[in-house]
Chain A
Amino acid sequence: MIRLEKRPQPSRAWSMATPLVAVLATMIAGGLLFAILGKDPVEAIRTIFWEPLFGEFAFYYRPQLLIKGGPLVLIAIGLSLGFRAGIWNIGAEGQYIMGALFGAGMGLAFYPHEAWYIFPLMVLAGAFGGWLWAMIPALLKVRFGTNEILVSLMLVYVAEQFLASMSLGLLKNPEGFGFPGSRNLQQYESAHNADLIAGSGMHWGVVAALIAVIFAYVLLNRHMLGYQIRLTGEAPRAARFAGVKPARLILFCLGASGMLAGLAGMFEVSGPSGQVSIDFNVGYGFTAIIVAFLGRLHPVGIMLAGGLMALTYIGGDIAQSNMGLPSAAIQVFQGMLLFFLLAFDLLTNFRLRLGKPEVA
């Protein structure tokens, strides 16, 4: 019989190793899955992990990695702050939409006026939009003790209705021949979040994500507020004893994660996406939850996890079109990654023992 035995303290080595072991296990199990589907498993794994980075068309896929990874990392960093403290913002998707609407709205309000200050104002508006949307669950939780998981999640669907209403009404392109959707911000120079180096995929959102990683790292490791966040997550009663004010922490964590999600939405609408449309959001806010956990809620881990996630998305797309793998198989593959990560995570706090089972 295999038994689990609690370690006297968490293993640092395993905590670093589990993501790698999980990726390896996913490759093996995924390979088996692809083999059962009748595809060459080595080729499939190579297509997913190698092709986007070093394949023949890597010049096209590499920028895509940044474009997809940027918002994921930016949102996941914000979420990880709350998750560390046991404050569960599940509604980043909604905050992402509101950030995009506020940002785009600010830009379009100036149309067709060109000025240097328009883009910075859009950044502020986007951050404000996401923050505002996250403040709803935050204030309700602080004031009435509501569950932030439910409130933030339900507000995603409210935000989606707002998005549809804006695409069809207030923000609709007057010169769009009646089609839903706003003007294309890529064609409005002052509002366009263009690549900083043409064709690199490196837009302001990616820069913001990198800044957020550094900021979160310093906050969590060097600052009192970060210490209080970690302490609250580890031992809420000890946190109160240490003098942490729970309400302040809730407002900060939800506010910060909403703000970053709003920024991600704003950079997306003014850059890669270009316009507000009914199907503008593609689930970055939800995927970012996976990214946050895949990165072990650690800023650097999240950066790597965001890259990995973007890789499996793009690689998965290539495998679908080149090898005819069903899209469901790719989703199973991504699911496996999270599954193995959580499963191996057990080894951080427990070790395996071979031995007889024990009563009680």
Chain B
Amino acid sequence: MTVPLLSLQGLTKAYPGVVANDQVSFDIGEGEVHALLGENGAGKSTLVKMIYGLVKPDSGQMLLRGAPFAPAEPRAARADGIAMVFQHFSLFDALNVAENIALGMENPPAMRDLASRIREVSETYGLPLDPYRTVGDLSAGERQRVEIIRCLLQDPKLLIMDEPTSVLTPQEVEILFETLQKLRSEGTSILYISHKLEEIRKLCDHATILRLGKNVGECTPAETSARDMAEMMVGTALKTPTRSDRIMGNVALDISGLSVPSPSAFGTSLKNIHLSLRKGEILGIGGVAGNGQDELLAVLSGETLSAPDAVKLHGQPIGRLGPVARRRLGLLSAPEERLGHAAAPDMSLTENAMLTAAVRENLVNRGFLNWPAAKAFAKRVISTFDVRTPGPENAARSLSGGNLQKFVIGREVLQRPEVLVVNQPTWGVDASAAAAIRQSLLDLAAGGTALLCISQDLDELMEISDSFAALNEGRLSTPRAASGLTVDEIGLMMGGAHGMEVAHV
């Protein structure tokens, strides 16, 4: 066998209280698409940060084509031919593509030369992109192209991609895969980080699976079933949420002709949204991030007001009511951002229980707060939803993401909502906590609550929803029954490839 491109040997990195990587070793061959698979918190990010020179390993070494490789900073890693596309784009909305790329370069050439190089590279790899377009007008898929082209301009040997498909529609994923395959055929290695098993099976030659910082196995994805990979990733047999047959009741939430202008320059305006939600129904709303999900939640929670008749609860217009009045009527919500939006980071869980439960759990008497009752309620959320914390007096920020998410969802579920709106209920949550949260949502619907679940995780939506619709640039597609929908149909509802030119490979 030839010398691998990059060989990791016994990499260890510990943070206070947690070992992020424990003796991780594996090789990435030349021209190989190597998958790095693992749950949130398994140590994938720390590992690639070490390769990219952002974090220094405590022990272990890396060999690049047989020579010791220890980048002190990303610049050194880039000089050695390693490039990385981050999950969160670092682009300025107000600048155009070429300007954004020039900002990331050490010695940017003249803008005209750069623009022609961008054109050249983008045509070679089938990533059509006009260097003079403003980034703010680009779709998520096109923004990702900007990041990829920024990397390709360095002519990398190894391209690291961190969860690249989380912001793409199925059609856009197809286009991305064609580009990646073209890169592979030219000899570029790709380290592909993901937890989406099907796409790894389709794309990757080899997979390394991390669990709790340790390398727990390797496999050839094409020959391994998704279920086997998932169980290696989680370490236990997965429990699939069970759904019971539900009887749909009357319409609980009715949105008609809802249009709300975006509060900020690069936010999304909601445009003429129609939907109706019956008791016991779970409506899944898919879509790529930034297509109006946060705005839709804000309009339903009461943080943003709308025309009075645009939002109706049990036939009663509530468009002008604030969050407290809506909670009183039984419309509850759980936003995506746990720290800072759904919960106050430095406040205790008891105080965070007060945050939304004050009205419905009778925690207030003539303006005076009943702290013992709030504490009892917080304890009830903690025990019912198996939140791992020493007690309700602990600050919200001391909880792990999954535990805090269980608390945030549990806080709303236990208030017996008539209608519950959740945004990304299992984002960044480990598989067992995610399964528990989904089960609780299904149980809630079985009890007659109408549920609106906004999520970017299509598997999740298919698992729990009765009907499905997608947000695309602030417009909502017509909801359809979830069973029988194909991936292609879902992709088209999400906006297809957003008119993005197909890669000409």
Of the listed stretches B132-140, B349-357, B450-458, chain A binds B349-357
Contact A231 B54 (CB under 8 A): no
B11, chain A: closest CB distance, angstroms:
15
Contact B346 A10 (CB under 8 A): yes
Q: A224-B358, A359-B56 are in contact. Are A241 and B368 (CB under 8 A)?
A: no
Q: A8-B395, A234-B345, A241-B301 are in contact. Are A224 and B335 (CB under 8 A)?
A: no
Q: Which of A8, A222, A225, A238 contacts B342 (CB 8 A)?
A: A238
Greatest chain B CB density within 10 A among A5, A242, A245 is at: A242
Q: Which of A10, A223, A243 contacts B323 (CB 8 A)?
A: A243
A209–B72 CA distance with the chains assembled, in angstroms = 58
Q: Which of A10, A230, A238, A242 contacts B340 (CB 8 A)?
A: A238
Contact A237 B369 (CB under 8 A): no
- Chain B residues with Cβ below 8 Å from A223 are 367-369
- Chain A residues with Cβ below 8 Å from B323 are 240-243
A248, chain B: closest CB distance, angstroms:
11
A43–B192 CA distance with the chains assembled, in angstroms = 70
Instruction: Please report which residues of chain B, range 68-114, place their CB below 8 angstroms from some CB of chain A when the two chains form the complex.
Output: 72-73
Q: Which of A8, A230, A241 contacts B397 (CB 8 A)?
A: A8
Bin chain A's interface residue count.
Answer: 20 to 34
Contact B351 A238 (CB under 8 A): no
Encode A236-252 as 1/0 by CB contact (under 8 A) with B: 01111111010000000
Greatest chain B CB density within 10 A among A231, A238, A245 is at: A238
A353–B346 CA distance with the chains assembled, in angstroms = 22
Encode B302-326 as 1/0 by CB contact (under 8 A) with A: 1100000000000000000011110
Contact A241 B347 (CB under 8 A): no
- Which residue of B is nearest A12, CB measured? B393
Q: Does A360 contact B (CB under 8 A)?
A: yes
- Chain B residues with Cβ below 8 Å from A8 are 395, 397-398
Instruction: Please report which residues of chain A, range 325-360, place their CB below 8 angstroms from some CB of chain B when the two chains form the complex.
Output: 353, 358-360
B380, chain A: closest CB distance, angstroms:
19
Give the B interface residue count (CB, 8 A).
41
Contact A227 B354 (CB under 8 A): yes
Contact A224 B344 (CB under 8 A): no
Q: A8-B398, A235-B340, A359-B54 are in contact. Are A243 and B367 (CB under 8 A)?
A: no
Q: Does B394 contact A (CB under 8 A)?
A: yes
Encode B351-394 as 1/0 by CB contact (under 8 A) with A: 10011101000001001110100000000000000000000001
A170, chain B: closest CB distance, angstroms:
42
- Which residue of B is nearest A349, CB measured? B346
- Chain A residues with Cβ below 8 Å from B339 are 235
Instruction: Please report which residues of chain A, range 137-190, place their CB below 8 angstroms from some CB of chain B when the two chains form the complex.
Output: none
- Chain A residues with Cβ below 8 Å from B335 are 241
- Chain A residues with Cβ below 8 Å from B211 are none
- Which residue of A is nearest B301, CB measured? A241
Contact B369 A241 (CB under 8 A): no
A243, chain B: closest CB distance, angstroms:
4
- Chain A residues with Cβ below 8 Å from B73 are 359
Contact A235 B344 (CB under 8 A): yes
Contact A235 B301 (CB under 8 A): no
A247–B38 CA distance with the chains assembled, in angstroms = 46
A237–B323 CA distance with the chains assembled, in angstroms = 13
Instruction: Please report which residues of chain A, range 193-244, place their CB below 8 angstroms from some CB of chain B when the two chains form the complex.
Output: 222-225, 227, 230-231, 234-235, 237-243
Q: Does B16 contact A (CB under 8 A)?
A: yes
Q: Does A9 contact B (CB under 8 A)?
A: yes
- Chain A residues with Cβ below 8 Å from B324 are 242-243
A91–B297 CA distance with the chains assembled, in angstroms = 39
Contact B56 A358 (CB under 8 A): yes
- Chain B residues with Cβ below 8 Å from A238 are 340-344, 355
A234–B342 CA distance with the chains assembled, in angstroms = 12
A345, chain B: closest CB distance, angstroms:
14
Q: A238-B341, A359-B73 are in contact. Are A231 and B347 (CB under 8 A)?
A: yes
Contact B364 A224 (CB under 8 A): yes
Contact B356 A241 (CB under 8 A): yes
Contact A9 B16 (CB under 8 A): no
Q: Does B489 contact A (CB under 8 A)?
A: no
Q: Does B55 contact A (CB under 8 A)?
A: yes
- Chain B residues with Cβ below 8 Å from A358 are 55-56
Greatest chain A CB density within 10 A among B339, B345, B367, B398 is at: B367
A233, chain B: closest CB distance, angstroms:
9
- Chain B residues with Cβ below 8 Å from A234 are 344-347
- Chain B residues with Cβ below 8 Å from A235 are 339-341, 343-347
- Chain B residues with Cβ below 8 Å from A360 are 49, 54-55
B86, chain A: closest CB distance, angstroms:
13
A21–B47 CA distance with the chains assembled, in angstroms = 41
A358–B14 CA distance with the chains assembled, in angstroms = 12
A73–B298 CA distance with the chains assembled, in angstroms = 41
A309–B331 CA distance with the chains assembled, in angstroms = 50
- Which residue of B is nearest A356, CB measured? B56
A353–B344 CA distance with the chains assembled, in angstroms = 27
- Which residue of A is nearest B356, CB measured? A242
Contact B322 A243 (CB under 8 A): yes
Contact A224 B368 (CB under 8 A): yes
A239–B345 CA distance with the chains assembled, in angstroms = 12
A256–B345 CA distance with the chains assembled, in angstroms = 27
- Which residue of B is nearest A240, CB measured? B303
- Chain B residues with Cβ below 8 Å from A227 are 351, 354, 369
- Chain A residues with Cβ below 8 Å from B301 are 241
Contact B342 A9 (CB under 8 A): no
Contact B369 A10 (CB under 8 A): no
Contact A237 B341 (CB under 8 A): yes
- Chain A residues with Cβ below 8 Å from B343 are 235, 238
Encode B41-68 as 1/0 by CB contact (under 8 A) with A: 0000000010001111000000000000
- Chain A residues with Cβ below 8 Å from B278 are none
Contact A224 B367 (CB under 8 A): yes
Instruction: Please report which residues of chain B, range 96-154, place their CB below 8 angstroms from some CB of chain A when the two chains form the complex.
Output: none
A252, chain B: closest CB distance, angstroms:
13
A234–B371 CA distance with the chains assembled, in angstroms = 19
Contact B354 A237 (CB under 8 A): no
A43–B371 CA distance with the chains assembled, in angstroms = 49
Contact A222 B16 (CB under 8 A): no
- Which residue of A is nearest B52, CB measured? A360
Contact B327 A243 (CB under 8 A): yes
Contact A242 B72 (CB under 8 A): no
A5–B16 CA distance with the chains assembled, in angstroms = 9
A359–B70 CA distance with the chains assembled, in angstroms = 12
- Which residue of B is nearest A235, CB measured? B344
- Which residue of A is nearest B327, CB measured? A243
- Which residue of A is nearest B397, CB measured? A9
20 A-B pairs (CB sep. < 8 Å): A8-B395, A9-B394, A9-B397, A9-B398, A222-B371, A223-B368, A224-B367, A225-B367, A231-B347, A234-B344, A234-B346, A235-B341, A237-B337, A240-B303, A241-B342, A241-B356, A243-B325, A359-B54, A359-B72, A359-B73
Q: Which residues of B contact A (CB under 8 A)?
A: 16, 49, 53-56, 72-73, 301-303, 322-325, 327, 335, 337, 339-347, 351, 354-356, 358, 364, 367-369, 371, 394-395, 397-398
In the complex, besides A235-B344, A240-B303, A242-B324, 4 extra interface pairs with C-beta distance below 8 angstroms are A9-B395, A235-B340, A241-B303, A360-B55
Which 7 A-B pairs give the minimum distances between C-beta atoms? Answer: A9-B395, A243-B324, A243-B323, A235-B344, A8-B398, A234-B344, A9-B398
